[in-house]
Structure formats: structure tokens, C-alpha cells
Amino acid sequence: MSEFTIRAAVVGDVPVILELIRGLAEYERAPDQVVCDEARLRESLFGAQPDAEVLLACVGDRAAGFAVFFHNYSTWWGRRGIYLEDLFVRPEMRGRGIGKGLLQAVARIARDRECARIEWSVLDWNQPAIDFYRSLGAVAKDEWTIYRINRPEIEKLAGTD
């Protein structure tokens, strides 16, 4: 029997979701970059048009980890995929297969929704994660780099005629 259960998060989970987001940001060495609050999460995840979906892994009543994902799209396949934005297990809850359990749950959703693929991003120094993902058959898209523009550059670009 499994030591943990996985379920879709509900609006009452917002405080613990924010706690897990902060836990992951700390692990990623960027704790100051979490600027959202509970109201923003409630609106974006549980409003009329949710922007992403959240799975919670629980040990008893306690949330031990989470997965946050949304659908992306492949023009090569003409089909949606899943982009896994966050996958995190509290440090003291590791070693019980919870991370793999969350990924399996995401894979079942991807299978049931006929998705072309699952993608996610990994920090280059996070060797334990890289080893884990490779063991599941994941392939690194080494030849691609993600570029980003933030709000100030968006405003500037949008305002140019």
C-alpha cells in the first residue's frame, strides 16, 4: 500500500500551495522572486478560467509535495502537450517515491487527454533531478535555450510603432 495519496487541489488548498511554491523557490535559490499572494493564486488557479492545474501529494492530512502544470501546444503534432511548471516534494518527505508518484499522475492525465508529450525545465546544477528524469526516459533538449522578456520590455515593444 502506498504511503501517500495524490488528488487535484481545491480552493481551500491555496495557503499550502503558496507554502510549496515558496519551498521550491528556496530550493531553486530564488526565494525573493515569489511575488504572488493567496488572492492572486485563488484568482489564477481557481477563478472562472484557471490558468494551470495543481496536484497535491498528501501523507495523511499533510501536503507533502505538488505538481503544477498547464497545456502547451506542438505545431509539429498539431496537438496539445503538458508543460510541468513545478514539481516539488518537501525535503523531509523525500525518498518515499512521492516525486515519481506525482509524475506518474501527470503522465496518466497526459495519456488520457491524448497529449503529444510532457515537457519541463531543469536547473543545470540540479543533478539529482537530472538523474531522476533521465531514469524515466526523459531527453534533454540541449540545443534549445529559453529567452524571456518581462513587463518593462513588453510595454516598450508593445508601444513602438
Touching a second copy, residues 34-73 (CB under 8 A): 34-37, 40-41, 43-45, 51-52, 68, 70-73
**Angle, helix 38-46 to helix 14-27, in steps of 10 degrees:** 110
* Only segment of 4-12, 55-63, 82-90 that touches a second copy (CB under 8 A): 82-90
C-alpha cell at 95: 525518498
Residue numbers 135-154 binding a second copy by CB under 8 A:
136-154
User: Which residues are bridge partners to 84 per DSSP?
Assistant: 69, 120
Nearest to 95 by CA among 3, 33, 12: 3
Show the beta-strand stretches assigned E in 2-44: 5-8
Nearest CB to a second copy, comparing residues 50 and 91: 50
Using CB under 8 A as the binding rule, the residues of this chain from 92 to 131 that contact a second copy are 103-104, 107-108, 110-111, 115-125
Q: Which active-site residues does the annotation give?
A: 133
Quote the least distance from Cβ 39 to a second copy, whole Å.
9
CA dist 159 and 161 (Å) reads 6
Q: Does 12 bind a second copy (CB under 8 A)?
A: no
